[in-house]
Amino acid sequence: MTPFFGLLHLRASFKAEVGSVVAVLELSRPSYAELLASFTRSFKLSNTPKNVVEHAKLCFLDWLGATLAGSAEKEAEVLAEVFGELSPKESSIVGFKLKAPSHAAAYVNGAVSHMVELDDIHREAIIHPGVPVVPAALALAEKQDVSGEKLLEAIIVGYEVEISIGKAVNPSHYKYWHTTGTCGTFGAAAAACRVLELSEEEIMNALGVAGTHAAGLIEVFGTSSKPLNPGRAARDGVVAALLASRGFT
């Protein structure tokens, strides 16, 4: 079980005044999107407790091990072959001597890392946090040639965002939706935004784009398509950040 770092706290205080026919809802704090964007933009590894940084490193290593294990699966080879044909060659497909566009590499790495179900889990949020976030952060980090410090910042931000949302919507959400695919899309987008160093407004736009992409049916459990949910979440997080960086709203 992956501990929740607990750095991000989503709060909204409100007061309902009920009249004869009208209820007025007053929000006294920023919106959730604003809180998420502010956290994503302002987070710094230098201000983070050492134990959190060390745990983030373990999360990355855990993800890498799960991905290498998954790369031995037949379905992993199929994905690598299909997406490894795409250009430009920006980011590595882990376990294979192949590169692909950043969003495509994120897709393959996200799916492959979930294939043998050795990936980390947060039970309260009912999510495998590493498999959408790390592939998105890693793909763009390689493309942008950023430091390991920036990569860790992106990973921590992504975990915080997706786990916070997962805790907010579950357990009812998990009756129908694969949280790793749905909430993971937001985490992947936040991680990607952190790598690209987007503004708060751009991050909010990216989260909006991620929201309209978010998906993942519980019905695919037991099929070879289940790992595609985190793969798509990783890919769509990258796409959301790239689109927002170019003005998409």
Residue ranges and CATH numbers for the domains of the chain are 14-244 (1.10.4100.10)
Q: Rounded mean pLDDT of 105-118?
A: 98
pLDDT at residue 18 tops 70: no
- pLDDT of res. 115: 98
pLDDT at residue 3 tops 50: no
Give the tens place of pLDDT for each residue, 21-61.
Answer: 344 444 457 889 999 999 999 999 999 999 999 999 999 99
Stretch (H or E) spanning 135: helix 130-144
DSSP 3-state of 178: coil
Please list, in sequence order, all residues whose beta carbon lies within 8 angstroms of the beta carbon of residue 206, skipping any fewer than 6 positions away.
189, 190, 192, 193, 198, 240, 241, 243, 244, 245
CB 71 within 8 A of CB 112: yes
CB 127 within 8 A of CB 184: yes
- pLDDT of res. 135: 99
Give the tens place of pLDDT for each residue, 184-194.
Answer: 999 999 999 99
| Phi, psi of 247, rounded to the nearest 5 degrees | 100, 0
CB 66 within 8 A of CB 110: no
CA distances from 20 to 17, 23, 24 (A): 10, 8, 11
CA separation for the pair 37, 186 (Å, rounded) = 11
Q: What is the DSSP letter of 175?
A: G
- pLDDT of res. 29: 75
CA separation for the pair 154, 191 (Å, rounded) = 4
Please list, in sequence order, all residues whose beta carbon lies within 8 angstroms of the beta carbon of residue 143, skipping any fewer than 6 positions away.
90, 91, 102
Task: Give the predicted TM-score (pTM) of the model.
Answer: 0.89
What end-to-end distance do the CA atoms of the chain give, in Å? Answer: 35
Structure tokens belonging to residue 61:
């290593």
